[in-house]
Amino acid sequence: MKTIIIAEAGVNHNGDMDLARKLIDEAKKAGADYVKFQTALNPTSKYAPKAEYQKRETGADETQLQMALKLRLTFDQHYELYEYCKKVGIAYLSTAFDVDSVHFLDSLNLPFWKIPSGEITNLPYLLEIAKTHKPIVMSTGMAELEEIGVAIDILKKNGSGDITLLQCHTDYPTKMENVNLRVMNTLADTFHLPVGLSDHSVGIEVPIAAVAMGATVIEKHFTLDRNMYGPDHKASIEPSDLSKMVSSIRNIEVALGDGKKSCSPLEQKNIIVARKSIVAKREIKKGEILTEENITTKRPGNGVSPMKWFDVLGTTAVRDFGEDELICLE
């Protein structure tokens, strides 16, 4: 099954439409399935503090709202990006951060909703999402299992489409010891839903490992330059690594195979080369008793199988054998 790969541009455009279009170009070039932005009309009050990582990356002299306004794109600008994605040939996605943005994005007929971790306890928001009856991919950062279960019940009871849950650790960048990929197994076992990963770690190892563990969706932040000003650049990968991540994930999908264990046609031709046969350890005369002193096992594998070792021991040599010659029994 093909993994859905979401290249998360987020707010890494820094409010600049030229940068946003370049991010779309790079996501397309890398082979991602979707490039995703963030749509927010007014999700933050003037009293909301910045997170510590936001202070670290953008300074502590402004509020979260002031920072968000610098990074915000209008609905008209999002529509421009939506149209540009169609022109380039990559699917547009955006995460809505308020109900008005849900209504706007619904008008674009997006294939599914991406619910961010912070909205998992936002009842009015969840109800608006559910009423569209579309599939949902929901991040679970900061959430307890009980909270996830409540959100799932609300969505399902109000008409949502299929739900996929993403393991996510809401810290930027996420340290390896906090990634906790095995939570994907816990989510799958608890809620019997498809799972994936929204990854904020540095590098590309974690999402590749997640696919090997069964992730059906991978979301990864990317940027044109990790040294740019902005809250999420340091927790993002650059275009070259995005390309490597996508190609590695596609390779892992192929490598996972169908799970059926058998000797493939390509392996069969190597049986003679790799397996062993019973051979003469030294010169053996016709009529000599075959013992551990005069026979052994060596390549190639086109003679009597070593699995017949005890059937051969104690028999007599049917003819003379030179050293390393394949033993035959008749």
Give me the tens of pLDDT residue by residue for the chain, a chain 330 residues long. 899 999 999 988 988 999 999 999 999 999 999 999 999 987 777 676 756 766 565 566 766 766 666 678 999 999 999 999 999 999 999 999 999 999 999 999 999 999 999 999 999 999 999 999 999 999 999 999 999 999 999 999 999 999 999 999 999 899 999 999 999 999 999 999 999 999 999 999 999 999 999 999 999 999 999 988 777 788 899 999 999 999 999 999 999 999 999 999 999 999 999 999 999 999 999 999 999 999 999 999 999 999 999 999 999 999 999 999 999 998
| Residue 288 neighbours by CB under 8 Å, 6+ apart | 294, 316, 317
Cβ(251)–Cβ(244) under 8 Å? no
Q: Report phi then psi at 18, rounded to 5.
A: -65, -45
Q: What is the DSSP letter of 234?
A: G
- Distances from the Cα of 62 to the Cα of 66, 232, 240, 306, angstroms: 6, 16, 33, 76
Q: What is the DSSP letter of 66?
A: H
Q: Would you state the pLDDT for residue 53?
A: 67
The DSSP result for 115-150, as a single string, is E-GGGTT-HHHHHHHHTTT--EEEE-TT--HHHHHH
What are the beta bridge partners of residue 35? 7, 92
Report how far Cα 149 is from the mean position of its chain's Cα atoms.
23
| Residue 78 neighbours by CB under 8 Å, 6+ apart | 37, 39, 94, 104, 105
Provide the edge-to-edge strand list for the sheet that holds 163-168. Answer: 91-96, 34-39, 4-10, 217-221, 195-199, 163-168, 136-139, 113-115
Cβ(118)–Cβ(143) under 8 Å? no
| Residue 10 neighbours by CB under 8 Å, 6+ apart | 36, 37, 38, 221, 232, 236
β pairing state of 277-280 and 91-96: unpaired
Measured between alpha carbons, how far is 302 from 312 in angstroms, rounded to an integer? 16
Q: Would you state the pLDDT for residue 51?
A: 64
* 12: number of Cβ within 10 Å: 25
Give ranges for CATH 3.20.20.70 in the chain.
Answer: 4-256
Q: Would you state the pLDDT for residue 280?
A: 98
Cβ(141)–Cβ(170) under 8 Å? yes
Q: Report phi then psi at 9, rounded to 5.
A: -75, -35
Give ranges for CATH 3.90.1210.10 in the chain.
Answer: 262-330
Q: Would you state the pLDDT for residue 12?
A: 87
CATH classification of 4-256, choosing from 3.20.20.70, 3.40.50.2300, 1.10.357.10, 3.30.830.10?
Answer: 3.20.20.70
Nearest to 254 by CA among 211, 298, 224: 211
Cβ(57)–Cβ(233) under 8 Å? yes
Q: Would you state the pLDDT for residue 102?
A: 97
Architecture of domain 262-330: Alpha-Beta Complex (3.90)
Which amino acid, 148?
Answer: I
- Distances from the Cα of 50 to the Cα of 45, 54, 116, 201, angstroms: 11, 6, 17, 20
3-state secondary structure (DSSP) of residue 79: helix
| Entry pTM | 0.89
